[in-house]
Structure 1
Amino acid sequence: MIQKAEFVVSNNNPSNCPKPDRAEVAFIGRSNVGKSSLINMLTGKKELAKTSQKPGKTQLINHFKIDDRWYLVDLPGYGFAKVNVKVKEGWENMITTYLTKRENLCGVFVLIDSRLEPQKIDLDFLLWCGTNGVPAAIVFTKADKQSKSKTHQNIQKFLKKMNEIFEEIPDYLITSSETGQGKDDLEEFILDLVKEYESREVI
């Protein structure tokens, strides 16, 4: 159970991120996938990450310190944000640099809207992660927004597409920020990554 969550810093340059002295996990997803709401649900702090109805609100790398032990990072969303091409390229370079160079990053959670059919942009991003050795897991969001059978159906379609790309499908979780579904599983998953990172650091 997360006891303490505090904002540390926002920046647009990965080299200005906090010193990589503890485990770090990052959340990323298409604009308006419910990333901020999920982070707030996970930490139990309603205002920790800024939520917005307007896609593309998160434009910086946002670091939060959790229980004085590990960092949770809120990354800019990809796709659909109404910004000019130059700004978009800057974001993409920033995210690419962060994901491939951040040495204490032990997990990236790619958020997928469970209400939608498989989207090429999400599949492409997961393929990019796999190709670049970025340790990704999938978090299906907004599971409360439709029937369980519809959620299951969409997730199975997505996993089928993943099967065509990957030899082994990444781990996945099903969540709802509204009902708290998946919170315990997600927290447990993250803590396992943190413990694994810490055990490597000791050696």
Structure 2
Amino acid sequence: MAGSDTGPKAFENSLTLSPEQIEAGRLLFAGPCDFFHGAQQLDQLPPPGEPEVAFAGRSNVGKSSLINAITGRKSLARASSEPGRTKQLNFFNLAGRLILVDMPGYGFAKAAKAVKEDWQEMMFSYLRGRPSLRRVILLLDSRIETKASDREVMDLFDRAAINFQVVLTKCDSVKPRAEEARYRGVLEEVARHPAAHPVVIATSSETGRGIPELRAELAGFAQP
């Protein structure tokens, strides 16, 4: 089954979900998933309703690819042709039971300081003031070290008191020993943040690794 390879021993804690939980995730994400709202400002947000899970990550971390992989679509989420340009929160309705929120990428090197500060202000206000938000999935690239901007965003989640979970992307591009070292480093990073979920999931949008486990985790927030 896709996503069930054992990988390095460090990944055992991401594979403890029951077959029933995996199946619940599969069934949920087999349902319809459609874009229904975009918001560039806080006053444009849709009214809170179904539980929400948001996806955050640096530009080029593979966020659009991961959202497409978990929903089984090829182009539900689209990457901006110029990282840092898209500042819109995109909302997707998953089977009327869960809302997926695609947050704008951060860490774009060419953006002006004012643009970066504006991103933080808008995202913090959304995170702190959204009663339907259950968790943020923070994507980190498995091929590179954790950046200062990643740590700043983790600190932002702590200040907003919103639960977040780290998901490693592009694990098919990393050799096992390097991947395990990266994974263990991320676990140590996560342990320093009170708002962080302790389980880190390693994924690949190309091979499907970790996708069933991530679906199962997210299904736990869905309405019956």
TM-score, length-scaled by structure 2: 0.80
Q: Which residue of 1 aligns with 2:116?
A: 88
Q: Can you list the C-alpha shifts for 1:150-171, whole angstroms capped at 9, x where unaligned?
A: 11111112222333x2468622
- Aligned to 2:220, what secondary structure does the other structure show? helix
CA gap of 1:168–1:76, structure 2 versus 1, over 3 A, is closer
8 Å contact 2:163–2:196 — kept in the other structure? no
- Percent of counterpart pairs with the same letter? 36
Q: Which amino acid aligns with 2:114?
A: K
Task: Tell me which amino acid in the other structure corresponds to 1:158.
Answer: V
Q: Secondary structure in 1 aligned to 2:100?
A: strand
Contact 1:12–1:94 (CA<8 Å) still a contact in 2? no
Of the structure 1 ranges 117-126 and 135-144, higher mean CA displacement relative to structure 2 is found in 117-126
Distance between the aligned counterparts of 2:125 and 2:134, measured in 1? 15
Which residue of 30, 33, 39 maps to 1:5?
33
Q: 2:100 is aligned with what amino acid?
A: L
Q: Select between 26-35 and 144-153 the one with higher mean Cα deviation.
A: 144-153
Match of 1:27 in 2: 55
Matched ranges for 1:1-203 at <5 A: 1=26, 2=29, 3-52=31-80, 54-163=82-191, 165-166=192-193, 170=197, 171-195=199-223
After the TM superposition, which of the residue ranges 119-128 and 38-47 deviates more from structure 2?
A: 119-128
Q: 1:155 to 1:133 in 2, by over 3 A?
A: same
> Which of 56-65 and 32-41 deviates more?
56-65
SS at match of 1:46: coil
Aligned to 1:201: none
- CA distance in 1: counterparts of 2:101 and 2:58, whole angstroms: 15
The one-letter amino acid of 2:162's match is V
2: CA distance, partners of 1:160 / 1:115: 17
Question: Over aligned residue pairs, what C-alpha RMSD do you find?
Answer: 1.9
Q: Is the 8 A contact 1:159 1:169 kept in 2?
A: no
Give 1:136's aligned amino acid. Answer: F
Unaligned runs of 5+ in 2: 1-25
Structure scoring higher RCO (CA < 8 A, sep ≥ 6) equals: 2
Distance 2:85 2:202 in 1: 24
Which segment is superposed worse, 149-158 or 183-192? 149-158
What CA distance in whole angstroms lies between the structure 1 residues aligned with 2:123 and 2:181? 31
| Cα distance between partner residues in 1 of 2:175 and 2:218 | 27
